């Protein structure tokens, strides 16, 4: 019980720091509480890990302790605001309406919720039983234990050639958040590091459901979230201890927020897009691709939408760019230390030309993965058919729809092309071992795209999901 309380404390102070950032950015307070809590956690994990790295550049021995002091102060501030909010909200039943429904009439919602809870419980149980393994143990777990023992991120670690196998150039959000848990526990406990990864998984489900609810009924949103959970690759990757689930949360959060910004042009959505896109680069190197794709989309919008004044278009681009400045110290540090890459050669015209012979093989492996029923069911076939249907119906008249298709498609293609620069003895083995996890990063966004195109609006009941039953009811059968 005591370790669980310490783990909960580590989460609480981390989310408190995220809550302060949420308040500073003045993101709209009218989002559902569960969605706000998930965003507080994502913001907090990013800021905590960044603070630990920044302080470590001065004195790594006090980095975790110093960041903990700042986070505890944020927790006290959040507690004061929480008490004030509680006093104002006491007796105001409208504030609790989002949590309430009549389960006796809305039995489908209750059933779907129960199934979702059981599925997540099975993921959590399996992950807890397995503990850290694979790269989650040899790379992220090793770094987390080292950072905990050192009190922060030791600069000497990046100059130790004997540890090159642990991928010195990998970003630090995941291992630092695991070390954060160890710091509160007072010892390294790999199961609680796995528990931290499960919080990222839960945040993904919460954000996915919350995003669906912005335009669809509760039943439909729960049903689509359930489809996300039963996609074959979800259980396998969610129960692993790799960093792919954390990255998928940030990729989905940034992508869906930009989608909603195209629809409604709320400043909160572009702010969330900017922060989460920047943090993608802090989770895994592949996150840089998401950041660049989103930057390109925002820049194209700024140059082509003449209905908006120039100052507003420039402001949107600057808002997107500013959070990325938080990552500049890390990229400068990697460049200054000239940290080599374990898996890929530097991108150059010479390397590209010498690797063009790989294209046919990579294309076959690309198609084999996306058509793998064992990994994805029929998701990617459905994704392509939905895109073709949307294009034939409206010609991508809605920018948000076009963006979702472009960001998913571009990400997958770029990830496949990176294996042109693989330095593994067998680039085929490299792609077979890694490509499914790279595709997983945009899987939730792809499911969201399909669900939005095929889904019923919020005011339509759950029976719209069953056309045959609706037809029978219309015929009086």
Residues 316-327: pLDDT tens digits? 999 999 999 999
Coil, strand, or helix at residue 402?
helix
Task: List pLDDT tens digits, range 19-74.
Answer: 999 988 888 777 888 999 999 999 999 999 999 999 998 988 999 999 999 999 99
Residue with tokens 């950015």: 25
Coil, strand, or helix at residue 422?
strand
> Range with the lowest mean pLDDT among 41-45, 119-123, 274-278, 466-470?
466-470
Selection from 234, 235, 210 nearest residue 221 by Cα: 210
Rounded Cα gap, residues 303 and 305, in angstroms: 6
Provide, for the chain, the percentages of residues in helix, strand and coil under a 3-state DSSP scheme, each rounded to the nearest 5.
80, 0, 20
Task: List pLDDT tens digits, range 380-392.
Answer: 999 999 988 888 7
Selection from 76, 25, 67 nearest residue 45 by Cα: 67
Positive or negative, the Cα torsion across 343, 347, 353, 357?
positive
The answer to whether residues 117 and 17 touch, using CB atoms and an 8 Å cutoff, is no
| Stretch (H or E) spanning 126 | helix 107-130
User: Quick check: 151 pLDDT over 80?
Assistant: yes
| Res 241: pLDDT | 86
CA atoms within 13 A on the CB side of 318: 6
Rounded Cα gap, residues 431 and 155, in angstroms: 32
| Res 459: pLDDT | 39
pTM over 0.85: yes
The answer to whether residues 167 and 243 touch, using CB atoms and an 8 Å cutoff, is no
Rounded Cα gap, residues 362 and 205, in angstroms: 32
The answer to whether residues 156 and 60 touch, using CB atoms and an 8 Å cutoff, is no
User: Quick check: 101 pLDDT over 60?
Assistant: no
């Amino acid at each position: 019980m005591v370790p669980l309380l310490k783990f909960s404390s580590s989460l609480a102070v981390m989310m408190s720091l995220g809550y302060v950032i949420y308040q500073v950015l003045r993101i709209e307070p009218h989002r559902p509480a569960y969605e706000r809590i998930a965003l507080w956690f994502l913001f907090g994990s990013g800021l905590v890990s960044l603070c630990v790295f920044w302080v470590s550049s001065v004195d790594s021995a006090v980095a975790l302790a110093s960041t903990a002091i700042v986070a505890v102060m944020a927790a006290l501030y959040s507690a004061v605001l929480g008490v004030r909010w509680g006093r104002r909200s006491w007796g105001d039943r409208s504030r609790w309406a989002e949590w309430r429904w009549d389960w006796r009439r809305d039995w489908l919602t209750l059933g779907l919720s129960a199934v979702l809870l059981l599925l997540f419980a099975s993921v959590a149980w399996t992950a807890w039983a397995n503990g850290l393994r694979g790269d989650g143990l040899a790379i992220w777990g090793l770094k987390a234990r080292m950072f905990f023992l050192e009190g922060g991120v030791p600069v000497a670690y990046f100059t130790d050639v004997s540890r090159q196998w642990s991928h010195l150039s990998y970003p630090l959000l995941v291992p630092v958040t695991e070390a954060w848990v160890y710091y509160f526990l007072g010892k390294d406990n790999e199961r609680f590091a796995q528990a931290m990864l499960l919080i990222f998984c839960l945040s993904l489900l919460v954000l996915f459901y919350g995003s669906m609810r912005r335009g669809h009924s509760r039943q439909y949103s729960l049903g689509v979230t359930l489809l996300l959970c039963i996609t074959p690759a979800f259980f396998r990757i969610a129960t692993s201890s790799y960093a792919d689930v954390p990255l998928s949360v940030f990729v989905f959060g940034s992508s869906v927020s930009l989608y909603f910004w195209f629809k409604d042009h709320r400043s909160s959505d572009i702010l969330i897009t900017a922060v989460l896109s920047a943090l993608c680069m802090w989770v895994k190197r592949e996150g840089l691709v998401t950041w660049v794709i989103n930057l390109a989309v925002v820049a194209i919008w700024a140059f082509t939408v003449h209905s908006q004044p120039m100052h507003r278009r420039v402001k949107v681009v600057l808002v997107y760019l500013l959070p990325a400045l938080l990552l500049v110290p890390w990229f400068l540090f990697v460049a200054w230390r000239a940290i080599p890459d374990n898996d890929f050669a530097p991108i150059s015209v010479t390397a590209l030309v010498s690797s063009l012979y790989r294209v046919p093989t990579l294309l076959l492996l690309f198609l084999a993965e996306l058509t793998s029923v064992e990994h994805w069911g029929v998701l990617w076939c459905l994704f392509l058919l939905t895109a073709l249907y949307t294009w034939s119906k409206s010609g991508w008249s809605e920018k948000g729809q076009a963006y979702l298709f472009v960001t998913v498609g571009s990400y997958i293609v770029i990830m496949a092309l990176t294996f042109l620069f693989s330095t593994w003895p067998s680039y085929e083995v490299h792609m077979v071992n890694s490509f499914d996890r790279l595709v997983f990063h945009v899987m939730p966004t792809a499911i969201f795209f399909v669900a939005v195109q095929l889904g019923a609006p919020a005011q339509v009941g759950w029976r719209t999901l069953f056309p045959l039953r609706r037809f029978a009811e219309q015929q009086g059968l």
